[in-house]
Structure 1
Amino acid sequence: MSRRFVSKHRGQFPTTRLCELVGVARSSFYEWDSRPLSDHYLDDVDLAAEIHEIHVASRRTYGAPRVAGQLANRGRRHSRKRVARIMGECGLVGVHGRKKWRRGRANPAPAPDLLGRDFTAEKSNQRWVADVTEFRCWDGKLYLAGIFDLHDHTIVGWSMAQRQNTDLVVNALVMALGRRMPSGDLLHHADRGSPYTSLEFTNRLADWGLDASYSKVGDCFDNAAMESVWASVKKELRHLHGDWSKLTRSQLRTALFDYIEVFYNRQRHQARLDHHTPAETYAASRAA
């Protein structure tokens, strides 16, 4: 690495000074520089180009594990350690998580927790989880309601509004039902907040034959899968657009639409989906 640093910058600075800076003897550098490029180095260069392509396609959100997963999908299996090394040398950095926040206590509702913290599903349209998250924008709050399929990891329905009310969650449900047109047993899990336990919302669930399930009062871990989705949305949105408190609600709406519909559901490969996208996983589930 130190010799590569000298080689990269010697057109701008004296070679002697650069060698002194990195602690390499000048004779040692010239001897190294005169060697033909090794096959391993040339392979690193070729791999770096492909890593850069994958990283850019991910909107610069992927770290070494997901980049390595995408390379494997292309038939090029390399260790995470090697991918991480090359990404470091190229200055490519993925998005890292932030500390988890806890939600406030919700109102109780006389319905059971049928999910039981089992955040898995054998097929699409078998288990959905739902939640609302809040963004503080430059001109006020924006609420985002979402519904997440536990098998294919698609955000199947979503809705945005300036107020957290029944209309917000009903609109997300209507979108999900219209897109998926589910038949058979389907479990819908949410917290016990008043929008989800309202008569209008529960009637919608009943009309479509969905089984309602609710988290225990004040226990955010009962809906941890949806909390994890919001954490990913927020950390990657912050990476792409910066601090949303400086955006207007209209600007954030546009950014969220693009992120959810274009990137998250259709382009974002996930390790838990064997490095496939939600759209690919849903298509495979339908074909099975």
Structure 2
Amino acid sequence: MTVEWMCWLARVSRAGYYRAWQAAEPDSEEMELRDHIQRIALANRFYGYRRVARQLKDEGRLVNRKRVARLMRLDNLLAVRRKAFRPPTTDSKHGLHIHLNLAARMKVTGPNQLWIADITYIRLKGEFVFLAVVLDAWSRKVIGWNLSRSLQSEMALKALCQALEARKPAAGLVHHSDRGIQYATEDYYKALKKHGVVPSMSRARNPWDNATCESFMKTLKAEEVNGKAYRNMEELQAQIGPFLNEYYNKRRLHSSLGYSTPEKFEELNSSAAPLAAVLEFYKA
């Protein structure tokens, strides 16, 4: 059967026939791009098309976001959209000293100006354990963390000491947390004071004051903890460590950082004056 006869039967022109034939042929460039996108999306299960597009850019490949979204949709790779972050309302009641909320008046412009700390729980096979973290508020980098079977103040103190040892900040750094008893103990305050760190705490019944750290906890739960069945503390420790130190700090792109990783963001921007935010606060 000739092409002319097939075109007559289908009521299409010869030009239309050839265009359709060419369109049906796989585009090698697009197939290669789809493979590339699949690799990124499968390695980062919670990446949406914006982060995938930025990852491609970082690897030297400029691709329009809309095209990335279209190809991810074709391959059913679009990440499940999570609900907006809504921190739970908490109110720590104890008789220890509560510090003023200094962080609310700060404009952070560099590393080691403001650290934020928080604690969350993680379910194991037969028990709950607790994770304390310290983040640099400017870069969102995890700079200290500790797992514990109890909520004693020592577990938060170990995370703080790890951060102090790793960063060796100058005096004047502000440390912000909620009003939990772990952060209000005399031992914790002494550790802050010894290194010239100024304590700051959220207002009563206002968890949004520490929303950045609470949001990090939500990311941790969604991208690492939820859906896993850790058998014991050793298994949890072996998996949480790489997530925090390697994936979150070095590989995960953050929209709030211009789609950079915390570590790369610090490398590219750490020339900012290290005490600018603190000086601005004290002049206010």
| 1:155 aligns with one of 142, 148, 151 | 142
> TM-score with structure 1 length normalisation?
0.80
The match for 1:190 is 177
In 1, Cα distance between the equivalents of 2:19 and 2:11?
10
In the alignment, structure 1 residue 177 sits paired with structure 2 residue 164: yes
- 1:54 aligns with 40
CA distance in 1, matches of 2:132, 2:258: 27
- Give the corresponding residue for 1:105: 91
Q: Residues 119 and 130 of structure 2 are in contact (CA less than 8 Å); yes or no, is this contact kept in structure 1?
A: yes
Q: Does structure 2 conserve the Cα–Cα contact (< 8 Å) formed by 1:51 and 1:67? A: yes
Give the direction of change, closer, same or farther, for the CA distance of 1:65–1:169 in structure 2 (3 Å limit). same
Tell me the TM-score normalized by structure 2: 0.81
Cα distance in 2 for residues equivalent to 1:133 and 1:27:
67
2:247 corresponds to 1:259: no
Q: What is the CA-CA distance between 1:70 and the residue it aligns to? A: 1.7
1:15 — aligned with what? none
Return the offset for 1:282: 2.0
| Distance in 2 of aligned mates of 1:158 and 1:32 | 62
1:87 maps to 72
Once residues 161 and 41 of structure 1 are traced to their aligned partners in structure 2, the CA distance between those partners, rounded to angstroms, is: 53
The two structures, once aligned, show a CA RMSD in angstroms of 2.8
Q: Quote the Cα distance in structure 1 between the aligned partners of 2:63 and 2:234.
A: 42
C-alpha separation between the residues in 2 aligned to 1:174 and 1:195? 14
2: CA distance, partners of 1:184 / 1:104: 30
Q: CA deviation at 1:75?
A: 4.2
Given that residues 132 and 144 in structure 1 are in contact (C-alpha distance below 8 angstroms), is that contact kept between their aligned partners in structure 2?
yes
Question: Where does structure 1 lack aligned partners over 5 or more consecutive residues?
Answer: 1-25
For residues 13-46 of structure 1, the C-alpha deviation after alignment (integer angstroms, 9 at most, x for no partner) is xxxxxxxxxxxxx999xx5896124899444323
Which stretch shows the higher mean deviation, 271-280 or 101-110?
A: 101-110
Alpha-carbon distance between aligned partners in 1 of 2:42 and 2:25, rounded to the nearest angstrom? 26
In structure 2, the residue matched to 1:232 is 219
Give the superposition deviation at 1:116.
1.3
Q: Is residue 129–residue 147 contact of structure 1 (8 Å, CA) maintained in 2?
A: yes
Higher relative contact order (CA 8 A, sep 6+): 2
Aligned-partner Cα distance in 1 for 2:164–2:237: 22
Aligned pair partner of 1:278 in 262, 277, 282: 262
1:144 match: secondary structure: strand
C-alpha deviation, 1:274, in angstroms = 2.0
Separation of aligned partners in 1, 2:257 and 2:26: 31
Per-residue CA shift, 1:119-141, capped at 9, x if unaligned?
x6211111111000111221201
Count of residue pairs the alignment pairs up: 257
Change (3 A) 1:27 1:62: farther
Tell me the percent identity. Answer: 27
Aligned partner (choices 250, 258, 268) of residue 234 of structure 2 = 250
Change (3 A) 1:165 1:103: farther
Question: Bigger CA drift: 216-225 or 107-116?
Answer: 107-116
The alpha-carbon deviation at position 143 of structure 1 amounts to 0.3
